Copies of this chain bind each other. A is one copy, B any other.
Amino acid sequence: MIRDGGLKLENQLCFSIYAASRALTKKYRPYLDNLGITYPQYLVMMVLWEREVISLKELGNKLYLDSGTLTPLLKRMESMELLKRERSKEDERILCVTITEKGIKMKKKAIEIPECILKSLNNEISFLSELKSNIDKLLLDMKVKEE
């Protein structure tokens, strides 16, 4: 006898995460529209607000994105003057991504976004932070398994 409960949509953890990811990203949209950037671009900005310079490779490691995604994304952000793209002097292979003044200034307008999102979720902070740490645990297990 063949059991197929595992093939039902509502039993799929991956589908829940996939759907939640898109729904959550959509929540950011009105705020990010104000800044003129998309969610993946917002992620890049968050990294640059922490570290003004970063190589493409390290940026990719942080965001789990490869050059196929990041190269055109960063070019768009460069044309918006949020960052600069230039080769490293020491090693011409390395692309250095540097935040601009305009990019730095954007942080002031972005500062309130996380709180707005949290409020709009109107869930207990403790529930959300426990959820995050459990997802991070899953993510870590998947990273380890990769090697």
Chain A contact residues, CB within 8 Å of chain B: 2, 4, 6-9, 11-25, 27-28, 39, 43, 46-47, 49-50, 62-64, 107-108, 110-111, 113-115, 117-118, 120-123, 127-132, 134-139, 141-143, 145
Q: Assess the A135–B16 pair: CB atoms within 8 A.
A: yes
Nearest 3 pairs of A and B residues by beta carbon = A6-B114, A21-B21, A13-B132
Query: What is the CA–CA distance of A28 and B14 in the complex, to the nearest angstrom?
Result: 9
Pick the contact of A141 from B62, B107, B121 — CB < 8 Å? Answer: B121
Query: What is the CA–CA distance of A129 and B5 in the complex, to the nearest angstrom?
Result: 14
Q: Assess the B145–A120 pair: CB atoms within 8 A.
A: yes
Q: Please, which residue of chain B has its CB at the minimum distance from the CB of A4?
A: B111
A129 to chain B, nearest CB (A): 8
Residues in B with CB closer than 8 Å to A62 are 9
Q: Select the residue from A18, A128, A134, A139 with max chain B CB neighbours within 10 A.
A: A18
Residues in B with CB closer than 8 Å to A127 are 134, 137
